[in-house]
Every structure is written in structure tokens, then in C-alpha cells.
């Protein structure tokens, strides 16, 4: 089968290769990939900003149909529509993080698409407990967005507890930012979505999907806008989803005293901020990475109940052979979510 792999460490070294079709062992499922989303993490791996273990097949946002099950599998059957949580393919299962559900923080974890072969291929092998059956009302295209949605669910619903009446700032109108926006709106919050001038199309989508205000930060004062929506105080919560220094600084400026800034965007390098901006406002700074078992159960329920609409986020569906175009679209922010389909 064909698989898109990073063959060596360092920037680049991406090749669409012919590799052996994987086999399914005890406790495993073989999934025929229908869609695999390109994530910002994949871009960081391509550019060598994040570590990986080459040669490795990239891709961790996946949906597909179960093609084969090994002995002892209980969570799905052949023919089921499924998605996969990528962080539990290899983990110790014994540390305090594994036992409390925070498997992504395990020191032994080997992530799908980073250090274990991922979904930019015709088939992927998953452990039984990695697999979640998609709700009947969720198509396979939307199902491939389950993993980034789970990241937003953890940030909004589990780490922050956004409540009705809160003012929320989303800095970075990419797919994760717009998922985070929808979840905050579903919680009853007022939401400001901010981006650059080149994000005009994304900001337009944010407005169509329910943002109360969208802001081009190159042509408007984000802090003033946010204070205007919140009675002069500033945002209760700011979610940094762009992964840039400027975005983080704007979040620190626009959030109110005693407010919270949650960092979802991966920066890939050190950020420069003034700690006094945190101290004098007594801010809470949270990082949010990945998800837990509880997050996934909540995410599947959110999809089943139709509390978010992820379809407008899918801007491109490309064959796997056009992966270079998909990477370019993501790097140049020419769309939102790019899905690759095995040829």
C-alpha cells in the first residue's frame, strides 16, 4: 500500500512510499482509512520543529471502516465506522498520568503519526481501546475531525468550565480555534474571534458559524473590542490557538484581571512575553494538550447531539498523492481543514 512517511530527521524528507500492508494481531483492529486530516502538528513534524521516529507514517486525525479484528477485540466489529485516539498506542499504563486518564502525559507514550505509523496510508492498525465508534449521524469526513474536537472539548469544558455569560476570546481562526468557538457558544458565552488580515476568509466563516464579533487585529484594537463586549473588563477566558508570540501577547492583554489564558496552539519555539503582564493581572495560564478517556466520551456525545457543526471547517478533500498541495494549503492558510484520502 502507499503511505506518506517522514524518512529521516530534519526539515522535509517526506516521501510517498510503497510499504507492506499492516497485519492485525490480538487485541488490534485493522482500519481502512477513508479520511485523514492534516494537523498543525504534522506541519511541525515535516519542518522538524517536533520530534518523530523515522521512518514513520504521519497522520493522527482519522476516520475509517473496520476491516479486520483480532482476538479479544470488544469495542468495534468489522464494518463499523470508527475514529481513533492517537495517544494510547504505546503507554506504560502504570504511571500516575495513565491511571488518572492523562495518557498523553505518560513518559512512555508513543504517539500515532509521530513515533508509531499513522493514518496517511490505506490502512492503520489500532489497539482495541484506541477505537471509538462514530455516532450514526456523523459522516466519515466529519468523523476525521473527532480528535481535534476532543482537544477543544478538554480545553473548554474540562480545564476551564466556560459558563453562560462569560466573554471568550479565540485568537487564531483555524480549525481548532473555530471548534473552540463553537463549544464556547454552546456553553452560552459571548465570543470574539481574532485573526490576521490574511485570515479574512476564516474570520468570515467564524461569523457565519456564530461568533459575536470577528476582529482583524492588524486593523482594529483587539483589547478595546473585547472590553467593549464585556462591560469594560476584558475576556474571562482567552484561548490561544494560533501558536504565535503575537497571538499570545494579545491574549494576555485582552483577558481581564483574574482571567485565564489557555494555550492550545503549538509554537514550536520559545515565545517572548512579559511576565509582568501575568503578575499584575493575577492571570491563570493553562496549557491544554490532547484529551482523556472522559474527553472522548464527551466528544462522541457532543457529535451525536449535534451541538457543533464541523462540516464548514472542511475546505479541501485531496487524494493522498496530492499531499504536497495539502501541506502548502495548510502552511499558507489558504483553507481550513484539509482531508487526505488514500488513492
| Per-residue pLDDT band at 37 (split at 50, 70, 90) | very high
Mean pLDDT of 64-90: 93
DSSP state letters, 124-135:
EEEEGGGEEEPP
Q: What pLDDT is stored for residue 266 in this prediction?
A: 84
Q: What pLDDT is stored for residue 176 in this prediction?
A: 96
Task: Report the distance separating Cα 182 and Cα 310, nearest Å.
Answer: 9
Cell 498543525 appears where? Answer: 40
Q: What pLDDT is stored for residue 108 in this prediction?
A: 86
Domains, the chain, in order of start with CATH, read 2-145+310-341 (3.90.180.10), 150-287 (3.40.50.720)
**Is the pLDDT confidence value at 50 over 90?**
no
Which pTM does this prediction carry? 0.94
Question: What does the pLDDT look like over 304-337, one tens digit per residue?
Answer: 999 999 999 999 999 999 999 999 999 998 999 9
Question: What does the pLDDT look like over 120-141, one tens digit per residue?
Answer: 999 999 999 899 999 999 999 9
What percentage of residues in the chain have a pLDDT greater than 90? 86
SS3 278: helix
Is the distance from CB of 193 to CB of 273 less than 8 angstroms? no
How does the average pLDDT of the chain come out, rounded?
A: 95
Characterize 103-112 residue by residue with b for buried, 16 or more Cβ atoms within 10 angstroms of its Cβ, and e for exposed.
bbbbeebebb
Is the distance from CB of 178 to CB of 209 less than 8 angstroms? yes
Mean pLDDT of 176-198: 97
| Per-residue pLDDT band at 187 (split at 50, 70, 90) | very high
Question: What does the pLDDT look like over 206-257, one tens digit per residue?
Answer: 999 999 999 999 999 999 999 999 999 999 999 999 999 999 999 999 999 9
Cell 482594529 appears where? Answer: 220
| Per-residue pLDDT band at 197 (split at 50, 70, 90) | very high
Cell 470574539 appears where? Answer: 192
Which H/E stretch holds residue 279? helix 275-279
Task: Report the distance separating Cα 301 and Cα 303, nearest Å.
Answer: 5
Q: What pLDDT is stored for residue 90 in this prediction?
A: 77
Q: Which range, of 18-27, 93-102, 190-199, averages the lowest pLDDT?
A: 93-102
Mean pLDDT of 166-187: 97
**Is the pLDDT confidence value at 42 over 90?**
yes
Mean pLDDT of 69-83: 96
**Is the pLDDT confidence value at 115 over 90?**
no
Mean pLDDT of 171-200: 97
Question: What does the pLDDT look like over 244-280, one tens digit per residue?
Answer: 999 999 999 999 999 999 999 988 788 899 999 999 9
Mean pLDDT of 110-122: 91
CB 32: neighbour CB atoms within 10 A?
Answer: 13
315 vs 111: which has the higher pLDDT: 315
Q: What pLDDT is stored for residue 267 in this prediction?
A: 85
Query: Rg (Cα) of the chain, in Å, rounded?
Result: 20
Q: What pLDDT is stored for residue 288 in this prediction?
A: 95
Phi-psi region of 295 (alpha: psi -120 to 50; beta: other; left: phi over 0): alpha
Mean pLDDT of 134-149: 97
Amino acid at each position: 500500500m502507499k503511505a506518506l512517511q517522514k524518512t529521516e530527521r530534519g526539515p522535509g524528507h517526506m516521501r510517498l512510499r510503497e510499504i507492506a500492508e499492516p497485519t492485525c494481531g490480538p487485541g488490534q483492529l485493522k482500519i481502512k482509512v477513508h479520511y485523514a486530516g492534516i494537523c498543525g502538528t504534522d506541519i511541525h513534524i515535516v519542518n522538524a520543529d517536533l520530534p518523530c521516529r523515522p521512518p514513520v507514517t504521519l497522520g493522527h486525525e482519522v476516520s475509517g471502516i473496520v476491516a479486520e479484528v483480532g482476538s479479544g477485540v470488544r469495542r468495534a466489529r468489522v464494518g463499523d465506522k470508527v475514529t481513533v485516539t492517537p495517544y494510547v498506542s504505546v503507554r506504560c499504563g502504570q504511571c500516575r498520568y495513565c491511571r488518572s486518564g492523562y495518557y498523553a502525559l505518560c513518559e512512555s507514550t508513543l504517539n500515532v503519526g509521530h513515533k508509531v505509523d499513522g493514518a496517511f496510508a490505506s490502512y492503520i492498525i489500532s489497539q482495541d481501546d484506541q477505537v471509538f465508534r462514530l455516532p450514526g449521524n456523523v459522516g466519515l469526513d466529519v468523523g476525521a475531525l473527532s480528535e481535534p474536537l476532543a482537544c477543544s472539548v478538554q480545553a473548554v469544558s474540562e480545564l476551564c468550565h466556560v459558563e453562560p455569560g462569560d466573554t471568550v476570546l479565540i485568537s487564531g481562526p483555524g480549525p481548532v480555534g473555530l471548534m473552540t468557538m463553537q463549544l464556547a457558544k454552546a456553553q452560552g458565552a459571548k465570543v470574539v474571534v481574532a485573526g490576521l488580515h490574511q485570515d479574512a476568509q476564516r474570520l468570515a466563516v467564524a461569523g457565519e458559524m456564530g461568533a459575536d464579533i470577528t476582529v482583524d487585529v492588524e486593523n482594529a484594537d483587539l483589547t478595546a473590542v473585547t472590553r467593549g463586549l464585556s462591560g469594560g473588563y476584558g475576556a474571562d477566558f482567552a484561548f490561544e490557538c494560533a501558536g504565535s508570540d503575537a497571538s499570545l501577547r494579545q491574549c494576555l492583554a485582552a483577558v481581564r484581571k483574574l482571567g485565564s489564558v489557555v494555550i492550545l496552539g503549538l509554537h514550536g519555539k520559545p515565545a517572548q512575553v512579559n511576565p509582568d503582564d501575568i503578575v499584575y493581572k493575577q492571570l491563570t495560564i493553562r496549557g491544554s494538550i490532547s484529551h482523556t478517556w472522559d474527553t472522548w466520551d464527551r466528544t462522541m456525545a457532543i457529535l451525536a447531539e449535534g451541538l457543533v457543526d464541523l462540516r464548514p471547517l472542511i475546505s479541501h478533500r485531496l487524494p493522498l498523492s496530492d499531499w504536497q498541495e495539502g501541506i502548502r494549503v495548510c502552511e499558507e492558510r489558504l483553507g481550513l481543514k484539509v482531508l487526505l484520502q488514500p488513492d
